[in-house]
Copies of this chain bind each other. A is one copy, B any other.
Amino acid sequence: MEGVRDMSKLALVNDDQVGAFVQQLRLWRIQRRPGQSLYHEGDPAEFVYRVDKGWVRLLLDGEDGLRRIFAFVGPGDYFGANLQERDCTAEACTDLQLTVIPVAGLLRIGRTDPVALLELFEACTKHYRERVEVGRGQPSAAEKLRAFIARMGERITSGGRSGICLPFSQVNLANYLGVAPETLCRAAVQLCERGELARHGRRLWIGGCPPPRQKTGKQAKELGACDAAHAW
């Protein structure tokens, strides 16, 4: 809970300052398709990113060959603040639109406003801090999922939307929560029965109800709306 409050404060206080700060630099935008990677663990770190549209997942490649997703980065979030090399891999969960911020330029203008520079880096480490709260203790899978949708719910209310569909597969979410996909599925069924979660097609919705059911062609259009929703 505390982390959520910190998050909202960051969004209210720092984003404007940080946004103005980075505007001093020459920025540009890039797009990515779902599954494409932005950088890999070990790459030299040259850019910080801001998500304008879509969702990014941050993950580590375990020595056992398993990849561990530890953060989902959404619209308005910054990520990729590494001084030397990348400490994780970043991939697109959805269609993606990003603003690219060169680190070299950040360090240059950092002399004028070190606080804004720190705030930008702190915004990027936000995802690591949140991770500390996830999967801690020994709550059941249902409680992990409930905590997750609660945190995601914070985003939709601040975005002024009534609902949001999870912009990634259940397999990804299971990986993130540290449970087996089957376990997550059962937990989702459980929360759906209690009305804490909704389902529309293959997508899970949190917050408001999904749009009314229609025929297949219509559903595709609704999914378009879903994409718009999770992209703000």
Contacts and interface: CB of A to CB of B under 8 A. Distances in A.
Q: Taking the full assembly, how many copies of this chain does it contain?
A: 2
B42 A136 contact: no
A162 to B, nearest CB: 26
Given A87-B3, A121-B121, A138-B180, A60 B133 contact: yes
Contacts of A6: 87
A27 to B, nearest CB: 19
Interface residues of A, number: 43
A133 B60 CA distance: 8
A178 B83 CA distance: 31
A6 B41 CA distance: 11
Interface stretch (A49-57, A61-69, A90-98, A194-202): A61-69
Given A62-B136, A132-B60, A115 B180 contact: no
A112 to B, nearest CB: 8
A132 B70 contact: yes
Interface stretch (A122-130, A164-172, A206-214): A122-130
Contacts of A1: 63
A84 interface: yes
A34 interface: no
A115 B60 contact: no
Contact of A131 (B41, B42, B66, B132): B132
A135 interface: yes
Contacts of A42: 2
Given A87-B129, A128-B128, A131-B131, A178 B138 contact: yes
B114 A117 contact: yes
A192 interface: no
Interface in A99-153: 107, 110-112, 114-115, 117-119, 121-122, 125, 128-129, 131-133, 135-138
A61 B136 CA distance: 11
Contacts of A129: 87, 128
Interface of A: 1-3, 6, 9, 41-42, 60-64, 66, 68, 70, 83-84, 87-88, 107, 110-112, 114-115, 117-119, 121-122, 125, 128-129, 131-133, 135-138, 178-180
